[in-house]
Structure 1
Amino acid sequence: MPTAAEKPAESHVFEADVARLLHMMVHSVYSDKDVFLRELISNAADACEKLRYESIETPSLSGSDPESRITLSLDEERRELSVEDNGIGMSREELIEALGTIARSGTRAFMERLESGKAGEGAQLIGQFGVGFYSCFMVAERVDVVSRRAGSDEAWLWSSDGKGNYSVSPADIAEAPPRGTRILLHLTEEAKKYTSRWTIEQIVKEQSGHVPVAISIVDKPGSEPVRITDGSALWTKSKNDVSKDEYRDFYRGISGQYDEPALTVHFRAEGRHEYSALAFVPGSQPFDLFDPERTGRMKLYVKRVFITDDAGLLPRYLRFVRGLVDTSDLPLNVSREMIQESPVLSSIRKGVTSRIITAIEKLAENEEDTFLTLWKNFGAVLKEGIYEDFERRTQLLALSRFRTTASGEGYRSLADYVKDAKDGQGAIYYLAGASLEQLRASPQLEGFRARGIEVLLLTDQIDSFWVMNAPEFEGKTFRSITQGAAELSQFPLLDNEKASLPETTAGAESFIAFVKDKLADQVADVRASARLTESAVCLVATEGSYDRQMEKFLQSAGRLQEAAKPILEINPDHAMIRAVAGLEDNSPLKEDAAWLLFDQARILDGDKPADSRAFAERLGRIFEKAARSGDAGSPSSR
């Protein structure tokens, strides 16, 4: 007896339940039933493209009808939809090979012929997997395909219910297209909406509106065909051949907005990866600009067929840009509904992002007013890129515009700030808060204003984050004026402010020590202020803690359980401070004054008093004291 090792290996062919395989493929590959129409139109466009290339060698194939077209015919009463093209058509053998074998792509076979030199270059063929046709079984209970090969006197009928079997038989030549293929879908009851002209036209324009073959629709039997697409794609044209009105109309169609685009970016990239891009910056804020999802709105086309508007072609901080990218280089998954992550996609993302930012830079250089409008609409979003995009941080910082203590009602760039900085100034100072009015009234600005030092006034939520992530600009670091010591002693006061220099007297020093003792549980320190020239008090953060505004954001988001104790700074030269500093230490009024000064600083900082009830009671005692003093000094009391 031969041993197991001596027995020859046997070869077997995989077996499959074809009906079940077809059902799984149809109902698992696609997530949206509407795509069946895109797949059939793509196949029809490929057939027209194949005819064009085969006609190069055999011109008679086109005959007297050289113009390619696709016609969609609707019959609501019979619940039928047909897709007909006048492309290359199929012989009996080609029908069996193309439609009788799952995943056998006629387009792929044709491309292999192109690559071997049997046809011209540049074919705009779409299909590649050989499964798109079967998507029609998602909506049809039976599909009949009548096809006549260009130059042939025979026509053939392929028919199947999508359950594992199909038939092929001769078709009446009088009922067949003169050339090409007609696919007739007998729709299910659930899919009868696909006999509605409005539904079909909407799907075509959204998903296949730019395939390189004109598409017409016959909305009921006996009606004349009406062209709904012209087979052109605006982005394939040269910029010099597209008018401003054409760009505007296309922008309005793709964005759903009715304003004028502030910026149009149209280019074709060639070289290692080839693609076309057409992008618009809206003239006004889209309603979803601050959508928490923060996704982009750039559509992806592959060979002029819509694939997805969720490809992440731009970073989130450019989510206001509307437009599209069209390429033939991207690998797709089998359903063509999703793209596969690849170096090609990364290269396209990088290239499109760079071109858009460069275009915005040129706008800032050449059309300042238009750029400022763009910045007012989208500056808060663009600044997210300073926080998120390390590679382009310097570019985005240079693009950014700010309201400052020196800008009036206009805007200033960081380059402007650095150019006008004081000698020896190593920082770009900023103050972050909820509103411009609040910031301009902030006591922390007083010392900087008295010395003519410019301060950025930051009111967008993202500002507190990007300043921590931007280490410097042209050698100057970013520094909050509400954090740590002011470091103003190195800068002289302006001539008209020299009288405002605070002097710390012995009485003021004693009062500062008194306040520090009474507020020991509330503040990290109490000190004489170098930044106050007009106000009595202000709060600042300690050197190693977060900026005051950042602390508030983190607390409101639940990311910081308890804020660090602030520092209370006191202006020793202020009349109110001099008045209360002269009170006896055991005076109840002096203790009330210490707490009221702390609450005043909190209010100026945009907060509420530490204890609202205690604040009201202390304020009431102050009023009572003032009233008694007033009565004692009146003539009627003497």
Structure 2
Amino acid sequence: MNSRTALNSRMNKELGADNGLIGQFGVGFYSAFLVAEKIVVSTKSPKVDKQYVWEAEADSSSYVIKEETDPEKMLTRGTQITLFLREDDKYEFADPTRIQGLVKNYSQFVSFPIFTWQEKSRTVEVEEEESKEGEEATEGEKEKKKKTITQKYWDWELANETKPIWMRNPKEVENTEYNEFYKKTFNEFLDPLAHAHFTTEGEVEFRSVLYIPGMAPLSNEEIMNPKTKNIRLYVKRVFISDDFDGELFPRYLSFVKGVVDSNDLPLNVSREILQESRIVRIMRKRLVRKTFDMIQDIAETDDKADYKKFWESFGKFMKLGCIEDSGNQKRLAPLLRFHSSKNETELISLDQYVENMPESQNAIYYIATDSLQSAKTAPFLEKLVQKDIEVFYLIEPIDEVAIQNLQTYKEKVC
């Protein structure tokens, strides 16, 4: 066992099994040399008088440990890490705005406070001396007036003051808070149609808040692109990535937005780990199930306008799911909506269609055309209407393929 492994083993025993933020191999620390040409670590325990300094340079394979002797550099307690930035990085990574942006993106929700050194401004009143008009006043005759000026100053600012909404009890979170978090996190201006806040325990433990957006993506091409930035993955409240390619959600649910925070994944999780991990497969299954529950809740609400809005925005995604995800067709099929020969103005579900079928009817009839008008004037439709058989109007190219992939619905042939 080398010295670093022994040190980490000892720290893990002292700090407990939950010490997930302590690295095992020092990769996180040594990554600081990507931007620094030299690193100095000063540390002092409150129990001893001595302070030690560890110092190393990027182009050297060795390091120096020494006792601090300069009184001006002595700490009361704790650890201070100083990075001497490389020439080509010092302007970018010494910029307070850049630093604060990195903290907010990756560490906004970690459980300990992070402060950044920021320039601020404040208004203050100062006195100005003004002589009486028309004469030169003596020192005692000068009138004192006050004026307001803007004063610049530097101070520490808390950069991660937001408490993660998914760590709170759902019963204590108002709908307005969910909506505000959604808009701020995903740069949206409309309230979501629905949200789901849940904790999963057992084989895999994770917390999540998922949202159904209030409108469809602006580009129709996104329906064919599973690579979105709609899901933000955290591990122990540290942001890991929002760049996924279908690992957490299938392509037809790529419109879902939300955050997922796992305690079971490693902080250095990679794309390869995500693709091969059993944990991720279990997470995906449960995330998909919760999404279906959200959509079903919208469909069953008393306000039919909500589901109409959902279907207008994401109906194509549901149809795509019937084609690509045979394992979830039983969940997808009840969500489908179409016009029919008996409902030309209102969209109806497969459940409504089957409920209205005569007992002798064993199949679901449909006609695929390019418009409602051409469907209504189709030659073979007349005989079916005369027999009081309802016919679905499939007016989009994806409709017929989606229905055919179902094959049957409630023992009725499609």
TM-score, normalising length from structure 1?
0.54
Deviation at 1:328, TM superposition (A): 1.4
Return closer, same or farther for 1:173/1:349 CA change in 2, 3 Å cut-off: farther
SS of the equivalent of 2:195 reads strand
Match of 2:360 in 1: 424
Deviation at 1:189, TM superposition (A): 2.9
Return closer, same or farther for 1:336/1:416 CA change in 2, 3 Å cut-off: closer
Deviation at 1:108, TM superposition (A): 6.1
Deviation at 1:253, TM superposition (A): 2.2
Q: Distance in 2 between matches of 1:139 and 1:152?
A: 33
1:295 aligns with 2:227: yes
Deviation at 1:441, TM superposition (A): 4.0
Match of 1:183 in 2: 81
State the number of aligned residues.
Answer: 374
1:206 aligns with 2:105: yes
Paired amino acid for 1:159: E
Match of 1:167 in 2: 64
Paired amino acid for 1:200: I
Match of 1:313 in 2: 248
* 1:388-416 CA-partner distances (Å, limit 9, x unpaired): 22221111101222222222322111010
Q: Is the 8 A contact 2:226 2:250 kept in 1?
A: no
SS of the equivalent of 1:290 reads helix
Paired amino acid for 1:325: V
Q: Is the 8 A contact 1:145 1:181 kept in 2?
A: yes
Deviation at 1:232, TM superposition (A): 2.4
Alignment of 1:401-550 (within 5 A): 401-478=337-414
Deviation at 1:338, TM superposition (A): 6.0
* 1:184-227 CA-partner distances (Å, limit 9, x unpaired): 22222332211222222222222111111122210369711111
1:304 aligns with 2:251: no
Deviation at 1:337, TM superposition (A): 9.6
Match of 1:341 in 2: 276
RMSD: 2.8
Instruction: Considering fraction of residues, name the structure with more strand.
Output: 2
* 1:68-116 CA-partner distances (Å, limit 9, x unpaired): xxxxxxxxxxxxxxxxxxxxxxxxxxxx96xxx5xx59666533x1xxx
Q: Distance in 1 between matches of 2:46 and 2:273?
A: 34
SS of the equivalent of 1:204 reads helix
Match of 2:50 in 1: 154
Deviation at 1:468, TM superposition (A): 2.5
Q: Distance in 2 between matches of 1:178 and 1:443?
A: 90
Paired amino acid for 2:31: S
Q: Distance in 2 between matches of 1:420 and 1:273?
A: 44
SS of the equivalent of 1:411 reads strand
Return closer, same or farther for 1:415/1:149 CA change in 2, 3 Å cut-off: same
Deviation at 1:231, TM superposition (A): 6.0
> What fraction of aligned residue pairs are identical, expressed as a percent?
32
Q: Is the 8 A contact 1:108 1:129 kept in 2?
A: no
Of residues 209, 218, 226, the one that matches 2:117 is: 218
Match of 2:37 in 1: 141
1:193 aligns with 2:89: no
Q: Distance in 1 between matches of 2:219 and 2:108?
A: 25
* 1:484-525 CA-partner distances (Å, limit 9, x unpaired): xxxxxxxxxxxxxxxxxxxxxxxxxxxxxxxxxxxxxxxxxx
Q: Distance in 2 between matches of 1:298 and 1:234?
A: 15
* 1:585-625 CA-partner distances (Å, limit 9, x unpaired): xxxxxxxxxxxxxxxxxxxxxxxxxxxxxxxxxxxxxxxxx
SS of the equivalent of 2:104 reads helix
Return closer, same or farther for 1:431/1:268 CA change in 2, 3 Å cut-off: same
Q: Distance in 2 between matches of 1:330 and 1:442?
A: 57
Return closer, same or farther for 1:131/1:340 CA change in 2, 3 Å cut-off: farther
1:322 aligns with 2:257: yes
Paired amino acid for 1:299: R
TM-score, normalising length from structure 2?
0.82
SS of the equivalent of 2:218 reads coil
Paired amino acid for 2:286: G
SS of the equivalent of 2:284 reads helix
* 1:128-147 CA-partner distances (Å, limit 9, x unpaired): 44211111111112222222
1:352 aligns with 2:287: yes
Q: Distance in 1 between matches of 2:182 and 2:20?
A: 25
1:362 aligns with 2:297: yes
Match of 1:372 in 2: 308
Q: Distance in 1 between matches of 2:328 and 2:352?
A: 20
Q: Distance in 1 between matches of 2:374 and 2:108?
A: 51
Stretches of structure 1 that go unaligned for 5 or more consecutive residues are 1-12, 14-95, 479-638
Paired amino acid for 2:102: I
Q: Distance in 1 between matches of 2:75 and 2:220?
A: 50
Return closer, same or farther for 1:405/1:336 CA change in 2, 3 Å cut-off: closer
Paired amino acid for 1:451: K
Deviation at 1:303, TM superposition (A): 0.6
SS of the equivalent of 2:409 reads coil
Deviation at 1:440, TM superposition (A): 3.5
Q: Is the 8 A contact 2:318 2:335 kept in 1?
A: no
1:393 aligns with 2:294: no
Return closer, same or farther for 1:396/1:126 CA change in 2, 3 Å cut-off: farther
Of residues 86, 104, 127, the one that matches 2:23 is: 127
Paired amino acid for 2:66: S
Q: Is the 8 A contact 1:331 1:339 kept in 2?
A: no
Match of 2:141 in 1: none
Paired amino acid for 2:335: L
* 1:250-283 CA-partner distances (Å, limit 9, x unpaired): 1112222111011111100112211101111111
Match of 2:201 in 1: 270
